[in-house]
Homo-oligomer: A and B are copies of this chain.
Amino acid sequence: MLGMTNYPDNGGHTLTGIRDLARHLDISIGTVSRALNNKPDVNQDTKSKVLKAAAELGYVPNQAGRALSKGRTNVIGFVLQTDSEGMMQGDLFFIRVFDGMQSVLTQHGLNLVALLSPSTVDPETYLKQIVARRFTDALVLSSIHRNDARISYLSDQNLPFATLGRSLTDVGQPWLDLDFDGVVEDAIHRLIAKGHRKIALALPRSDLNLRHIMVESYRRNLARSGIEVNEDFIVETDAGDNGGVTLVHDLIELNPRPTAVIYSDHILPFGIYRGLAENGLTPGQDLSLIGVGTRLASLLTPNLSHYRFNLFDLGVRIAEALLPTMQDRPFSDPAKIIRESVPYTFIDGDSIRDMA
């Protein structure tokens, strides 16, 4: 294929390389490149002449050539994982985060792409391919597990990255996280304030660190309030559509029966509402609900009490955490590494009964 561009000259626009641009201006390639990259040692006049011509001819630097020469691709990957059901932790979630990240990264000339490990391929090998090919300059990992081999792997491979979520596997990388710890704490205190003592915690079956963080927060904050933890109250939910329905089934058979449940999945409440209805029970009356939700929460009747996060800002923060790691490898100055939880907002509803 030598000497043959892949896209045949169609008489219309011809792809312009830096060489054509240089010929057209009758100056050398090097100067053109320097002008475009705004290097100091080039005359202001020629600089503007080059920029003008580039705009006119629609010149845009070829990424492959650039990447090869600079050793950087200017591509950032946002790695998403689908679970066994092909569903993602995130769905609605991720779009906003992505948007927030992109708003920052574009200002630095970086392109953000979403990478979804296919359900037909082992996520590990998928990640390894991306890394080994040096497809991206940096990665953001989501769906972080309690122990996450990907973290040490990326560290070994010396690829800059940040994680959306904490992990026990910690190499000092920057991370952002949603304050699920705080959510559970706040939820428990709210419930207790309204007279609840039998509080269940419903979490999806997974090894996401998120789950562990919430369980730990649950135990800690109950203990702090002098309430003994009933292990039966920590229930696992199915990922399926009617995880909420079966959850209700499980809960109402418990003895004693919990009066409130803290959830973490924004779809789950829909199933819970349905499950309660099927049993002639009323949400917020026979069972109080509080947990993390999304916009969808406002579609439930009675109104769902829930916590929200500003996902766009989260994306912005992730990008800001990622950028320094790309200039300064490895994570040299721990003081400058951003590692923080973004705060929640509580949206009051009618799903918490006052037991007093």
Contacts and interface: CB of A to CB of B under 8 A. Distances in A.
Given A71-B6, A118-B102, A274 B295 contact: no
Indicate how many identical chains form the complex. Answer: 2
Interface stretch (A7-15, A42-50, A166-174, A201-209): A7-15
Contact of A92 (B6, B68, B91, B120): B91
A274 to B, nearest CB: 5
A242 interface: yes
A255 interface: no
Given A8-B329, A67-B64, A298 B92 contact: no
Interface residues of A, number: 76
Contact of A300 (B92, B95, B119, B274): B274
B134 A118 contact: no
Contacts of A116: 95, 98-99, 102, 112, 114
Nearest 4 Cβ contacts at the A-B interface: A60-B132, A114-B114, A64-B67, A270-B299
Interface of A: 1, 4-8, 10, 12-13, 15, 58, 60-65, 67-68, 70-73, 77, 82, 86-88, 91-92, 95-96, 98-99, 102-103, 106, 111-116, 118-121, 129, 132-135, 137, 156-159, 241-242, 244, 267, 270-271, 273-274, 277-278, 295-296, 298-301, 312, 329-330
